Structure 1
Amino acid sequence: MRLPDIERGENLRSRALIRIISAVSGIRLPDAARVAFYDKGFVGPTFGAWTQALMRGPSEWSVGERELMAAMVAHWNSCTFCVGAHSAIAVRGLDRDTVNACLADYRTAPISEPLRASLSFLETMTREPETLSAAHAQAALKAGASQAQLADAAAVAAIFNITTHYADTLDFAIPTDDEFDKAAGMMLKRGYR
């Protein structure tokens, strides 16, 4: 359900910020950012700080790997907006062929075994959460993922399982590939706050 206040801004201040940011960036401000202007109680400072800490804070995973995890969760949830947004950021830290190979089938993609095993854990967490067990975590650890890596991966999946569902529920507009690319540059520079 597309909410008019997300598109145009809830109040005069939000409308002005959306127009200014869109003009400066040269692209329509993506709906993910517009939601933050719409309702600070829904996706405001707390959610933004949590996402920033997970996606840009200290981790044994690179930013590109964490963005790939977000894109994969979006892929498993069939969220076109989030696949586009996070794969566009992931290719800035990984190469496009690797990201595309993961989206096609991470099991055969040219990635590290700890990442592959962590993605397997995240796929179960996303697609069949009721079946997730200690055995899934042990398999990832046996493949070389550290406990810290697996905890970070699970946190990324948790936040993007939420994000993908509200993106689809609110019917986020799908930018062009060029707009996704420009937004990726902004996200790398400014982060999720």
Structure 2
Amino acid sequence: MAHIDLDDAVPGLPSLLRFRPETAGPLSALAEALLRGPSPLERGERELIASYVSELNGCRFCAGSHGACAAAQLDGGATLVRQVHADPATAPVGGKLRALLGIAAAVQRGGREVGAEHIGAAREAGATDVEIHDTVLVAAAFCMYNRYVDGLGTSLPDDPAAYAQAAERLVAHGYTSPHPPG
């Protein structure tokens, strides 16, 4: 049960967006820019970074919803997402994405945890300044989204298949569509 008067039938972030429409627009626009806007990183890669950080933060709703979005857009699907969540060092991803996931994990622990070794590994693997920037911003933003969702005790979907259904809509229509993001 949520800590404030939310519609528990609407799980996760969408319940918060409905509760406070004044902040829904900017939060949805930020998610749209980070996860679907111009970037040298593929949309699925950005969703995977968001899902991985959410998994590290223990935010089941965001890890599930963004994991489903990543799975819908990346070769390897849900199996790849589970492998990255379990251990990105052994997951079947390229060296650049592996290094960027290392940066994301450092951001999740704290911004000052990102060190020269993280940046050096990413650069050595071929990451550009924009890819490093976008990784840090996605990771930092998802720490905020995770704390927002879990800090107010939002509900989870009754059916895990709801994540895949929401992912279909988000992949097709984005985060600023008339329906709140899931």
State the TM-score, normalizing by the size of structure 1: 0.83
1:32 aligns with 2:18: no
Q: Identity of paired residues, percent? A: 33
The C-alpha deviation readout for 1:50-70, integer Å capped at 9, x for no partner, is 110111111111111111101
The corresponding residue for 2:139 is 157
Q: Which runs of 5+ in 1 are unaligned?
A: 9-27
The C-alpha deviation readout for 1:33-74, integer Å capped at 9, x for no partner, is 121121134x32122111101111111111111111011000
Higher relative contact order (CA 8 A, sep 6+): 2
Which letter maps to 1:152?
D
Matched residues in 2 for 1:109 and 1:169: separation? 30
State the TM-score, normalizing by the size of structure 2: 0.87
Matched residues in 1 for 2:102 and 2:12: separation? 29
Matched residues in 2 for 1:77 and 1:29: separation? 22
Larger radius of gyration: 1
Matched residues in 1 for 2:69 and 2:145: separation? 16
The corresponding residue for 2:154 is 172
1:76 aligns with 2:56: yes
The corresponding residue for 2:107 is 125
Task: Give yes or no for contact 1:7–1:31 (8 Å, CA) kept in 2.
Answer: no
The corresponding residue for 2:7 is 7
User: Displacement, 1:130?
Assistant: 3.2
Matched residues in 1 for 2:60 and 2:71: separation? 16
Task: Give yes or no for contact 1:106–1:116 (8 Å, CA) kept in 2.
Answer: yes
Aligned 1:14-53 pairs, distance under 5 A: 29-41=10-22, 43-53=23-33
Return structure 1 stretches of 4+ with deviation > 4 angstroms.
Answer: none
The C-alpha deviation readout for 1:65-88, integer Å capped at 9, x for no partner, is 111101100011011111111111
Q: 1:136 aligns with which of 118, 130, 135?
A: 118
Q: Which runs of 5+ in 2 are unaligned?
A: 177-182
Higher helix share: 1
The corresponding residue for 1:20 is none
How many pairs align? 173
The corresponding residue for 1:109 is 91
Matched residues in 2 for 1:91 and 1:105: separation? 16
